[in-house]
Amino acid sequence: MKTLKNWRLEHHDDTTVQLRVHDRHLICINILDNKLFRVRLLKDGAWRLNRSWTVNPDGNTLPKGRSRDSLAGFSCPQYKLGWSDGQLQIETDALRLIVSQPLHFRWEAFVGEGWKYLTEDRPTGAYMLGVKNHAHAHYLRRHPNERVYGLGEKAGLLERTGRRFEMRSLDAMGYDAERTDPLYKHLPFTLTQTASTGSFSIFYDTLNTCVLNIGQELDNYHAPYRSFTADDGDLDYYFRWSPQLLDLVKSQLALTGGMAFPPRWSLGYSGSTMAYTDAPDAQDQLIGFLRKLENEAIPCDSFHLSSGYTSIEDKRYVFHWNNDKVPNPTTLTKAFNDSGVRLIANIKPCLLRNHPRYAEVANNKLFIQDSESDTPELSSFWDDEGSHLDFTNPDTLSWWKENVTQQLLNLGITSTWNDNNEFEVWDHGARCVGFGEEVEVGLIRPLHSLLMVHASWEAQSQHAPQHRPYVVTRSGCAGLQQFAQTWTGDNKTSWESLRWNIRMGLGLSLSGIYNIGHDVGGFAGPQPGPELLLRWVQNGIFHPRFSIHSWNNDGSVTEPWTHPSVADGIRAAIQFRYRLLPYFYTCLWQAVNNHEPMLRPTFLDHENDAQTYADTDDFLLGRDLLVASVVEQGADKRRIYLPDNHAGWWDYWTGQLHAPGTWLEKPVSLADMPLFVKAGSILPLANEAIKATPEAQVGRTLALFPQPGSFSCTSLIYDDDGERKDGPHCITTLLLTGDEHSLELQISHAGDMPFPFSQLNIVLPAGENRPLNYGGRVIEHGGLITVGEAS
């Protein structure tokens, strides 16, 4: 690659400033809003790939993609353009870009009453382009007091400085959650917190394999730097500034299309194991799971139907039912649906060469085609070779949706589990239809995962148009969250995985992928022992996706009742998850409507508290719950830091108020799940731990956690029927106020659905002694109120 140096201003208009570089290349700077600029580098003035599928601010990108020249969905405010000391300045009310010779960008933000340095390109060469190919690189100056986050599902510490990461989706079964890289997802997005000027994010809009070096590399000829490099495609990045990290996280979700609103039952426990469908009597094994749920008093809303139902011998054949194992699929699905447990069927995007329908698909040219012949590409898949479907072919999309409908949905299957969709096609030049503009697969490999998920989502939407779809995917790129929930893949059974998966999930959440979870108990490796399984469940219940899923090297099954010695503790944890569902569902709604992350590192809400940046196993669920999972074997105490929120934290279990900004060493037994509630919060809880669908029949508790002294705090609850698209809903506003002597609760409702409960059970912590007034009367601790009395 060659370093780009000389440039001149070529053109500017209401939205764009163009620089001509070396009299041949073009840099286009788009002013998208006051805090967001976009930088595009076009080799010889032309795109290598002229469409984007991950940027979707107006909701119209998929499936065909959007022109990379499009500015639809952005406000494109007025900006100032001028020269100062030979430097070009591009300025909005909040963000300033200064371009100097040789080609160098310096970013400044308007803070307080003036402009402050934010960051800059590497002064000794920032932009590089391949001479005979489309390789490219971007180098940024790295400063010692910066903290770097993001990059999605990555192993190790949540703060990324000093390491190198590759975006090249792999089926990383049994990965080391502290060290393995790359993993399943493609998210070249970073957030950087500076010492004094707020934070900035950079999203590189590329689907090509790329490497982000966050300071692992050193070079004596350059000041400390970080870099983005790719061997093909285009350099196209979005640069955003904000005083707060949280705003950058929320903005990334909006940029990439927002978030799906799945049905409420998706927040319930989801059973799963490969062992059932791998067994010769799979249907009997699966029915037996339903009986065990009833016998063990375990609530469960769904079951992930592993791919063994499609097997021929030990291989997997999508859209093929093994009727020796599952003699009557409709009988199976009816049994599950009658029990209120939805089936989520595993589907895969690659057909092995001996798939019964391989010739049909090949003859219709629905596969990605080999780079050198008019035949389907062949790649390693499931200990054999197979061909991957080309999801940029409209005929493939139709074939996929038809088979999802006929082979699954029409038989009573509710949802799809899009698995093994890393698209490990290593023939970079293999050809895709590209919706009429042929494109090499190496430029868009993760796109196929996204389009696969979108097609499954469309099939489910068309089959049940009144209901919100639930789709699961293992792999993908930015934008997957518009349609699917995801998880961190085939983790290894170990205490280390339990601990490091927490950070991996938070990395996804910081990167705009909120609806996530992990394989509770571990997928690959040995069966978890009793203590490990219990602790994993106690952590898993506080994640949006909660599924105990296993393969296990010895073929054993990991289930809630696997170890009788801890079965009661596991049952209690799952039942507590179900009591939390009203809070979870409100968090889910806020994620969809307000772009609020569901899982949050503690620093995201407490940026001014330096201690929250230290590595920790703690995290927030929504804004109000601090989860301090026990992740060490044999632990009898848990050291916890309570962030400085200026009000304090209530111990959920003991009802004791703790001061903000303090350390706590809490004794723990196997039964303990340390949990703290932000003072001033109100938690909506189900009165009983039963399934998500009939929740409206079991009543509701409001657990009040007041602040000390004089205060006024507002909480929200979201309710609807849990399934319908655009159905009636109710938003309940809870105003809790107090002074030194008393508390008062006011309740109001909005929306086109009545509040679903006539009475509410009010609970206050044991450590709160002030009387509570509602509707002009004092409510005892644990008392009932009639909704609407003075609301």
Q: What is the pLDDT of residues 273-317, one digit of tens each?
A: 999 999 999 999 999 999 999 999 999 999 999 999 999 999 999
CA distance 165 to 188: 9
Q: What pLDDT, on a 0 to 100 scale, did the predictor assign at position 170?
A: 98
Half-sphere exposure of 350 (CA within 13 A, CB side): 24
Q: Are 318 and 351 in contact, with CB atoms under 8 Å apart?
A: yes
- Region 196-203 average pLDDT: 97
Q: Does 789 have pLDDT greater than 60?
A: no
Kind of pairing between the strands at 485-487 and 471-473: parallel
CA distance 402 to 722: 27
| Tokens 């970080």, residue located | 226
Looking at per-residue pLDDT, the higher value among 334 and 697 belongs to: 334
Q: Which two tokens stand for residue 324?
A: 């020796």
- Taking the whole predicted model, whether its pTM rises above 0.95 is answered as yes
CA nearest to 523, candidates 539, 514, 536, 505: 536
- Region 158-163 average pLDDT: 98
Q: What percent of the chain has pLDDT over 90?
A: 95
**What would the pLDDT profile of 177-197 be if each residue is shown by its tens digit?**
999 999 999 999 999 999 999
Q: Which two tokens stand for residue 460?
A: 């489910």
- Region 672-681 average pLDDT: 98
- Region 199-224 average pLDDT: 97
CA nearest to 267, candidates 585, 622, 486: 585
CA nearest to 510, candidates 545, 547, 471, 478: 478
397-420 burial: b if 16+ Cβ within 10 Å, else e:
bebbbebbbebbbebbbbbbbbbb
Helix H or strand E segment including 4: none
Q: What pLDDT, on a 0 to 100 scale, did the predictor assign at position 790?
A: 43
Residue 694 pLDDT class (50, 70, 90 cuts): very low
CA distance 642 to 649: 7
Q: What pLDDT, on a 0 to 100 scale, did the predictor assign at position 199?
A: 98
CA dihedral 441, 446, 449, 454 (to 10 degrees): -100
> What rounded mean pLDDT belongs to the chain?
96
- Region 584-598 average pLDDT: 98
- Region 492-496 average pLDDT: 98
Domains of the chain, with CATH numbers? 2-255 (2.60.40.1760), 265-466+530-585 (3.20.20.80), 601-678 (2.60.40.1180), 681-786 (2.60.40)
Q: Are 390 and 368 in contact, with CB atoms under 8 Å apart?
A: yes
